[in-house]
């Protein structure tokens, strides 16, 4: 690499990092949140154990997995995320709704009114969970981030995904500021593939102009 | 339905149809184009028969299907599209590249330099095809459409997908005007799911301003 090429790369990195509107992207694979009660039915002899901490404080991927059983198909080895929640919830991509044979609404986590039910299976147990959703695009952020962007809980913004060959602007992205959240846009696997998202792909938040 | 509700719906339909930048969306499922020679190996006792005409004149979905066999997985019942081409070509979604276990570039149809090979199988034969791609977003259009939009072959535009809950603007969309083409944006299944595209979802073409 020539000195000039190196200088060019360094200039790019500095410019990227100095963009105040830059947002890291986290791709959510299908996953399951469980109540402690539901967990005990599926894993009667186990504890929910940490496999990997996620970016949002306290959240983790566990060692436990279950199979989602739909009327038309199944999805095996779906990771249980911890910690336990007050309501069990299954998050899948739209493509996987077709594969399972169920009609799934696009919802923010926790908004489970009128969402369908699905069967979860492990070698040790089986339950029906009411609360299958396709995750609505959202951005976790600290209260300082929200102030800096001029947004509040529930504000709708757009994010330009700055990828090669498939640059994409996702609109209808909901802001979720919380004291302990870390800045990260969550999209699902369909959205990551559609926008050609790789390990080094970043987003750029676009705040609608005040009317 | 009240008269006023009906009037409102009619107003919406007229407004939609009078938008000169409106583009119909065609979702391409994974599919295979074959040379006549490759076809004869896979289907030695058959003719390529029309199952359904596609929107672009002369193009059709055939009755014939093959299995794509990758190092990590397979995709069954992949439709052969007709008519025959000068080069065989396999078009899959990015998600399916991961499923098959191959790294696939994003390319316009026909740009097959340095694209990977894959095995195709039927009950009667087996071939290796060099030319697996993820389709680059593109818009088929007539020469009149191109003139109207002020674009030419290879121009890059953006298209806003006007869907519920997941409004999306796809950039890096290549214009492909041809005398006999009909206006239609082609996206793949990952892109359709990411943007929540249904039967009544339309796009709106955004032409970059001249510099």
What are residue B123's phi and psi, to 5 degrees? -60, -20
Q: What is the ipTM of this complex?
A: 0.91
How far CA B48 is from CA of B53, B60, B153, in Å, comes to 13, 10, 31
Strand partners, B30: none
User: So what's the pLDDT on residue A16?
Assistant: 64
Confidence of residue A8 (pLDDT cuts 50, 70, 90): confident
Cβ distance B172 to A166 less than 8 Å, yes or no, reads: yes
User: Is A94's Cβ below 8 Å from some Cβ in B?
Assistant: yes
Closest-CA distance of chain A to residue B192, Å = 8
User: Where is average pLDDT lowest: A185-194, B2-11, B79-88?
Assistant: B2-11
Is pLDDT at A182 greater than 90 in this prediction?
Answer: yes
**Model's pTM, two decimal places?**
0.91
Over chain B, what is the mean pLDDT? 95
Nearest to A72 by CA among A6, A119, A7, A37: A119
Q: What does the pLDDT read at residue A11?
A: 80
Q: Does B51 touch chain A (CB under 8 A)?
A: no
Q: What is the pLDDT of residue B164?
A: 94
Does pLDDT of B211 surpass 60? no
Q: How far apart are CA B3 and CA A162, in angstroms?
A: 47
Whether B95 sits inside 8 A of A193 (CB atoms) is yes
Whether residues A194 and B196 touch (CB distance < 8 A) is answered with: no
Q: Which residue matches tokens 């199979």? A: A67
pLDDT tens-place string over residues B157-200: 999 999 999 999 999 999 999 999 999 999 999 999 999 999 88
Examine the pLDDT at B9 and tell me if it is beyond 70. yes
Q: Which residues of B touch A76 (CB under 8 A)?
A: none
pLDDT of the residue at A1: 84
Predicted confidence (pLDDT) at residue A80 exceeds the cutoff of 90: yes
Q: Which residue has the higher pLDDT, A29 or B12?
A: A29
Q: What is the CATH number of domain A20-27+137-206?
A: 2.40.40.20
Overall average pLDDT of the B28-39 stretch: 98
pLDDT at position A123: 97
Nearest to A204 by CA among B7, B126, B169, B53: B169
Give me Rg for the CA atoms of chain B. 19
Cα–Cα distance, B123 to B64 (Å, whole number): 12
Give yes or no for residue B16 having a pLDDT over 80: no
In the DSSP assignment, the letter for residue A7 is H
The pLDDT of residue B29 is 97
In angstroms, the CA A138 to CA A175 distance is 6
Phi/psi region, residue A207 (left: phi>0; alpha: psi -120 to 50; beta: rest), is: beta
Region B57-83: what's the mean pLDDT? 98
Distances (CA, A) of B49 to A92, B38, B87, B119, B157: 37, 15, 19, 22, 36
Q: Do B136 and A165 touch (CB under 8 A)?
A: yes
Instruction: Write out chain A residues lying below 8 Å of B168, CB-based.
Output: 168-171, 194
Element (H, E) at B177: strand B168-177
Query: Per-residue pLDDT averaged across A128-144, rounded?
Result: 97
Q: State both tokens at B9.
A: 């719906």
Whether residue B95 and residue A172 make contact (CB cut-off 8 A), yes or no, is: no
| Helix, coil or strand: residue A17 | helix
Cβ atoms within 10 Å, residue B188: 26
The domain limits of chain B are 20-27+137-206, 29-135
What residues form DSSP beta bridges with B117? B130
- B31 and A CB contact within 8 Å: no
- Spatial distance between the Cα atoms of B111 and B107, rounded to a whole number of angstroms: 6
User: Cα–Cα distance between A71 and A90 in angstroms, integer?
Assistant: 16
Inter-chain CB proximity A136 and B165 less than 8 Å: yes
Give, in order, the Cα–Cα distances in Å from B27 to each of A97, B78, B152, B197: 17, 15, 23, 9
CB contact under 8 A, B191 and A194: yes
Distance from CA of A193 to the nearest CA of B (A): 6
B150 band by pLDDT with thresholds 50, 70 and 90 = very high
Distances (CA, A) of A12 to A6, A15, A19, B62: 10, 5, 11, 49
């Amino acid at each position: 690499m020539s000195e000039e090429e190196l200088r060019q790369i360094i200039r790019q990195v500095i410019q990227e990092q100095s963009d105040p509107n830059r947002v890291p992207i986290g791709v959510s694979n299908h996953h399951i949140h469980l109540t402690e009660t539901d967990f005990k039915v599926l894993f009667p002899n186990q504890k929910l154990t940490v496999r990997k901490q996620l970016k949002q404080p306290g959240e983790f991927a566990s060692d436990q997995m279950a199979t989602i059983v739909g009327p038309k198909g199944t999805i095996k080895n779906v990771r249980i995320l911890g910690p336990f929640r007050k309501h069990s919830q299954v998050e899948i991509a739209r493509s996987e709704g077709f594969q399972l044979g169920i009609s799934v609404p696009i919802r923010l986590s926790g908004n489970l009114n009128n969402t369908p039910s699905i069967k979860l299976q492990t070698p040790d147990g089986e339950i029906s969970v009411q609360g299958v959703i396709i995750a609505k695009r959202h951005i976790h952020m600290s209260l300082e981030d929200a102030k800096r962007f001029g947004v509040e809980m529930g504000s709708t913004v757009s994010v330009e995904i700055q990828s090669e060959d498939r640059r994409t602007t996702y609109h209808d992205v909901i802001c979720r500021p919380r004291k302990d959240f870390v800045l990260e846009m969550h999209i699902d696997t369909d959205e990551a593939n559609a926008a050609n998202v790789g390990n080094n792909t970043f987003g750029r938040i676009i705040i609608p102009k005040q009317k």
